[in-house]
A and B are shown apart, each in its own frame.
Chain A
Amino acid sequence: MATPNTPLWEVFIRSRNGLAHKHVGSLHASDATMALQAARDIYTRRGEGLSIWVVPSSAITASDPAEKGMMFEPAESKIYRHPTFYEVPEEVGHM
């Protein structure tokens, strides 16, 4: 008999205060409480974390790589959004 699937969770860890939570990996757990415990036991064994988020993998909506052009390329031409686009004389100093 095929083994029934246990839900998959994505794990995010904040390694230090002041930093954002970062995706570190996945695990399987039957519910959120167990997922959080498992995340602690699997992903923070070497003192990697101060805070953990677990999210059901099924709750994540991802962009489609096939739409990469439409989604991300239009931003590439907006060079005026970056500070280096503007010229400020050196004498003015850091701005």
Chain B
Amino acid sequence: MAVANIQVSETPLVLYALRRADDALILGHRLSEWCGHAPMLEEDMALSNIALDLIGQARELYAFAAKAERRDNDEDKLAYLRDVRQYRNLLLVEQPNGDFAQTLVRQFFYSAFADLCWRAMMSSRYTTLAAIAAKSEKESAYHLRHASEWIIRLGDGTDESHRRAQAAIDHLWAFTGEMFSVDDGERALIQAGIAVDPETLRGRWLQTISDVVSEATLVLPQNNWMQQGGRTGRHSEHLGHLLSELQSMQRTFPGLTW
């Protein structure tokens, strides 16, 4: 009964937008899983706010991708009718929520990167991208602040919270390298002044991460072997389960209006 996957013409520009959109949607989806289950009501509110920001970013980027693609795809087709191999998000954002420390470390690594990325993208030659970036940067700046404050409290809180925060960092570190990867298509967009060169962000990203981690009395792993694959659709096993849930309605009842 499953409806067929859509075809996407992945020009470099479409792919660039889809990668960012998928990051935002998948992470937003993960955070939305917390709703009703957070350690305190105040955090339920905070995590839902972040999730809503991210879902909003995803929608704008999908709309941009669909327009750039010039076929009849739209935000919902792009979100609901691509399978695991067509998703382009970072492995980092699809990792399960785990405990609160794992969720916040994932958010911290991602937001520290996303914030720099949006800020740089504000000077993209594509005004739509620049506008999306300007709006998203304000959101990600807060996400980073929120996550950083928690990393500090978890790291420098109790023995248990310290242990959990360190374990989350050790576990998720290997997924951070992918944020800085660039393929040939993206390289061309960077040279054309449309996309952001992530390599130029690496130093500041590492500085932010190191500062907070050290204030939190935690340490960064020495091993720099990094996992790759999300950007080309080679995901972890977790994404398939997430998508089967996310897409269940559209797959069960093809082609209807909701």
Contact = CB atoms under 8 A, between A and B. Distances in A.
Check A-B contact in the complex, CB < 8 A.
yes
SS of B interface (majority):
helix
Interface in B5-64: 40-42, 45-46, 49
Interface in A27-60: 27-30, 33-34, 37-38, 40-42, 45
A30 B153 contact: yes
A29 B49 contact: no
B146 interface: yes
A38 B49 CA distance: 11
A6 B40 contact: yes
Interface residues of B, number: 11
Contacts, number: 27
Contacts of A38: 42, 45-46
Nearest to B46: A41
B42 A41 contact: yes
A41 B49 contact: yes
A27 to B, nearest CB: 6
B145 interface: yes
Given A6-B40, A29-B42, A37 B149 contact: yes
Contact of B149 (A6, A27, A33, A45): A33
Contacts of B42: 27-29, 34, 38, 41-42
B46 A37 contact: yes
16 contacts: A6-B40, A27-B42, A28-B40, A30-B153, A33-B149, A34-B42, A34-B149, A37-B145, A37-B146, A37-B149, A38-B46, A40-B142, A41-B49, A42-B42, A45-B45, A45-B49
